[in-house]
Amino acid sequence: MVNPGDLLVLDALAQQKTFSGAAKSLNVSHTTVARKIRDLEAHYGARLIERVADRVVLTSEGEAAVASAHAIRDELRNLDRRIEGRDGGLFGHITLTTVDILAVHYMDKLARFSANFPEIDLTLNAETAVRSLSRREAEVALRLTNTPEPYLFGKQIGRYDYCHYTSKSRTEGAMNWLDYASQDCANRSATWMKEALPGVTPKSYFSSPLMMMHAIQAGLGDGLLPKQVAENNSKLRLVNEEVAFSLDIWLLAPKELRHTARVRALIASLATEQ
């Protein structure tokens, strides 16, 4: 009988196109990948791969095997979700994915959550782009979005209103404008600038509101920041009270996990107004 894990070796080889690439992605040796492929071909009595120049391609039989590998992987993920979705215990591990500005904003609540539920191990991934919930890279996401994915469940817990800020130390004179590199903020900022700052060209770009805030307070230039965060920063000055654009703050999780106790506990902890 074939071990389902062996089919995933074939899948890795199909994606990486070389034995060394597949070995690296699986964190195994080159010889292990080669042996697994030989064993699969011996079991099925058919060639599953072919060499074309310095790369590996799948035969039609190999493609059929990889399709089965994907089906097995998806079914195992669904099984995990079904089991975890019935988990009523306030223990175990949970991964929260978010962006840096929200991680900082909600850090006190995360600390209280960990203190209140010491048997739940929390991993916080704060990156420019939040990780995927559908691929199980995280169980809960804290996101800035006005259009949460319909296949997720969750609740809106706040909103960021972006306004024009500068450093308190900036003197009158030429203004350097700082803009966002991330798509959601960049598109909305560009729309606002056409009316509010016609003819102004950004001098520098930043990947997140947290980086933008540090750049502005350091004196690199002016930019748009969430008022809910910037208004408490003594190094910043509000230039214009007009709201350039707003982004909602959502707590989201896969629908399969909506009854999982530790997921609901984290959502409740972050959603509280205290």
Q: What global pTM score does this model have?
A: 0.64
| 124's tokens | 């916080």
Q: What is the CATH class of 160-248?
A: alpha beta
pLDDT digits over 2-56, tens only?
676 777 788 888 888 888 888 888 888 888 888 888 888 888 888 888 888 788 8
Q: What is the CATH class of 94-157+250-271?
A: alpha beta
List every span in the chain annotated with CATH 3.40.190.10: 94-157+250-271, 160-248
List every span in the chain annotated with CATH 1.10.10.10: 4-85
- Supply the mean pLDDT for the chain: 85
- Three-class SS state of 122: strand
pLDDT band at 78 (very low <50, low <70, confident <90, very high): low
Q: What is the CATH class of 4-85?
A: mainly alpha
Strand-pairing partners, residue 138, are none
**Contact predicate 272/149, CB 8 Å:** no
pLDDT for the residue numbered 133: 67
61 against 74, higher pLDDT: 61
Which whole number is the average pLDDT over 147-158? 88
Which whole number is the average pLDDT over 164-181? 89
